[in-house]
Amino acid sequence: MTGTMTRLRAGRPSVTAEINAQMRAADYALRPERRLVNDQYARHFVENPRYAHLRRTPGIALMGLRIFDHAIGGLLAEILLRGRYFADVLGEVGGDVDQVILVGAGYDTTAQRVARPVTTSFVEVDHPATQRVKRQVLDRIGVRREDITFVPTDLESDSLVSALQSAGVPTGVAALVGWLGVSYYLSHATFGEALCGIAAVCAPGSTLILDYLDPSVVDGTTVYRGARRAARSVRRRGEPYTLGLTVDDAARTAAAVGFQIVEHLRVPDLVRRYGGETPYCCDDDYMGLLRLVRVRDSA
């Protein structure tokens, strides 16, 4: 993609955020006992009319999900189940934090769906092009958003801390931060700077949930055919994978700003935990999810 304008840089909303919403919408079209996420709002963020017929009946939705999973196994589980994990963590620590911050929120509707204490505020940071669409859709469908602070930010060019401060978001308070489905679209430098920014706004004791992609997917050496397909597909759509991380890389970068890993789950772990007795998504193993805790002030 070197030398080519990426979709976001051209001011267009994220298409991968829309694909994620489509997967959650198709999951919602399943019978309730089969659903993995239960996102009743997701379908409103799917503009591509090609996808609407895939939600006509539970049977068609299941077939569509299985076709996607067959083509790009592992990614579907990651898209759906990292959100389940985040909701669980919110349930666990929500009462102990002053704010929840989603970085690269896309069309995630945790703020609308998952209970949290009324004293816990919600902040969504995203690229302005994607966030504009999200706000329009929430307005159109009449879903409350007054209790969310939206912070339009391009992480590649803006300072996360300055953007949060300009939006009046308190810094240095206990927070739960979700940074899901984003790291692999950033440059290595931006990933480090944004992580530093997250650390700067979080008091010790804060939690960060972050997912990552194996370097072998970015450099094309992965053994998983689905992962190679996924990489080609996002590149074609103007949102190439640019950053692969090993868990050791992530741990080192995080430790430098005072975060420590307390849980590490790979896709097979997520499928085992949340997929049910007969999971409809496979567990190809090229992505991981980290739970980190801020243990000290950054140097």
Binding site for ligand SAM (CB under 6 A): 8, 14, 16-17, 20, 104-106, 108, 126-127, 130, 153-156, 180-182, 185
Question: If we measure between CA atoms, which residue out of 215, 203, 290, 201 comes closest to residue 254?
Answer: 290
Closer to ligand SAM by Cβ: residue 34 or 237: 237
Closer to ligand SAM by Cβ: residue 181 or 288: 181
Q: At residue 203, what is the residue type?
A: A
Q: Least distance to ligand SAM from the beta carbon of 18, Å?
A: 9
Token reading at 125: 């940071």
Q: Least distance to ligand SAM from the beta carbon of 146, Å?
A: 21
Q: Least distance to ligand SAM from the beta carbon of 262, Å?
A: 21
Q: Least distance to ligand SAM from the beta carbon of 253, Å?
A: 17
Closer to ligand SAM by Cβ: residue 97 or 180: 180
Closer to ligand SAM by Cβ: residue 163 or 256: 163
Closer to ligand SAM by Cβ: residue 116 or 127: 127
**What residues are paired with 100 via a beta bridge?**
122, 176
Closer to ligand SAM by Cβ: residue 51 or 185: 185
Q: Closest residue (Cβ) to ligand SAM?
A: 106
Q: Least distance to ligand SAM from the beta carbon of 126, Å?
A: 5
Q: Least distance to ligand SAM from the beta carbon of 293, Å?
A: 21
Dihedral sign of CA atoms 228, 191, 90, 246 in order: positive
Distance, in Å, from the CA atom of 71 to the CA atom of 290, rounded to the nearest integer, reads: 26
